[in-house]
Amino acid sequence: MTEFAGTKLPADIPGVLPDNRVISGQCVYAEPLAELTRDAAFILGVVTGLDPGGVSVLLRISAQPELQHLLLFVALYGGSRTWDDVLSELLELQRSAPGRVRIRLLARRVEADRPANLLWVQPGSGGHGHLISGNVGNLLATESWDQTDAVLALPLEPAAAEALRKWFDSAYAQSSPLNIETAAAPRLRPPKGDAEGERMWSDYLDLLQARALGKSGGVSVDAETGELKVAGEQTLTEAKIFPRPDPLLLAVQIALAKGNVVAIDQSSRAPPLSAPVKPEFFGERGETRSGAARRRQRFSVSLFDEDTARRLGNQRCEIALNGAPAIGGTQNIDLS
List the Cα angle 255/143/146 in 5-degree steps. 80
pLDDT tens digits, 249-272? 666 666 666 665 555 454 455 556
| Residue 7 pLDDT | 86
pLDDT tens digits, 23-47? 888 899 988 999 999 989 999 999 9
Report yes or no: 62 and 37 within 8 Å, Cβ to Cβ. no
Residue 92 predicted with pLDDT over 90: yes
Local structure of residue 263 (DSSP, 8 states): -
| Residue 158 pLDDT | 82
Residue 70 predicted with pLDDT over 90: yes
Residue 57 predicted with pLDDT over 70: yes
pLDDT tens digits, 186-201? 988 878 888 998 898 7
Highest mean pLDDT: which of 18-27, 302-311, 326-335? 18-27
Q: Of the candidates 99, 94, 42, which has an alpha carbon nearest to the alpha carbon of residue 67?
A: 42
Residue 149 predicted with pLDDT over 80: yes
Residue 214 predicted with pLDDT over 50: yes
| Residue 326 pLDDT | 41
Bond from prior residue into 14 cis (ω within 30 degrees of 0): yes
Average pLDDT of 198-215?
Answer: 75
The CB-based long-range contact list for 140-149 (8 Å cut-off, 24+ gap) reads: 140/17, 140/29, 140/32, 140/33, 140/57, 141/33, 141/51, 141/53, 141/54, 141/56, 141/57, 143/28, 145/17, 145/18, 145/22, 145/23, 147/23, 149/17, 149/18
Which H or E run contains 108? none
Report yes or no: 76 and 105 within 8 Å, Cβ to Cβ. yes
Report yes or no: 18 and 145 within 8 Å, Cβ to Cβ. yes
Report yes or no: 118 and 90 within 8 Å, Cβ to Cβ. no
Buried-exposed string 140-156: b where 16+ CB fall within 10 A, e elsewhere: bbbeebeeebebebebb
* Separation of alpha carbons 78 and 48, rounded Å: 11
| Residue 258 pLDDT | 63
| Residue 257 pLDDT | 65
- Phi, psi dihedral angles at 128 (to 5 degrees): -95, -5
Other CB atoms within 10 Å distance of the CB of residue 192:
8
* Separation of alpha carbons 187 and 79, rounded Å: 8
Average pLDDT of 308-328?
Answer: 65
Q: Model confidence at 206, in pLDDT bands (50, 70, 90)?
A: confident
- Domain 31-191: give its CATH code: 3.30.870.10
* Separation of alpha carbons 16 and 149, rounded Å: 10
Q: Model confidence at 335, in pLDDT bands (50, 70, 90)?
A: very low
DSSP per position, 24-44: TTSEE-S-HHHHHTTTEEEEE
Full-prediction pTM beyond 0.85? Answer: no
Q: Model confidence at 220, in pLDDT bands (50, 70, 90)?
A: confident
| Residue 103 pLDDT | 95
Q: Where are the alpha helices (DSSP H) in 262-305?
A: none
State the amino acid at position 162 in one-letter form.
E
| Residue 261 pLDDT | 57
Residue 319 predicted with pLDDT over 70: no
Highest mean pLDDT: which of 163-177, 303-317, 319-333? 163-177
Helix (H, G, I), strand (E, B) or coil at 281: helix
| Residue 86 pLDDT | 95
Residue 334 predicted with pLDDT over 90: no
Average pLDDT of 322-335?
Answer: 43
Question: In the chain, helix, strand, coil percent, each to 5?
Answer: 35, 20, 45
Domain coordinates of the chain in residue numbers? Answer: 31-191, 247-322
Average pLDDT of 326-331?
Answer: 37
Residue 60 predicted with pLDDT over 80: yes
Q: Where are the alpha helices (DSSP H) in 226-294?
A: 236-239, 247-257
Report yes or no: 117 and 133 within 8 Å, Cβ to Cβ. yes
Q: What is the mean pLDDT of the chain?
A: 80
Task: Output 176 or 291, whichever has higher pLDDT.
Answer: 176
| Residue 2 pLDDT | 38
* Separation of alpha carbons 316 and 30, rounded Å: 39
* Separation of alpha carbons 168 and 296, rounded Å: 58
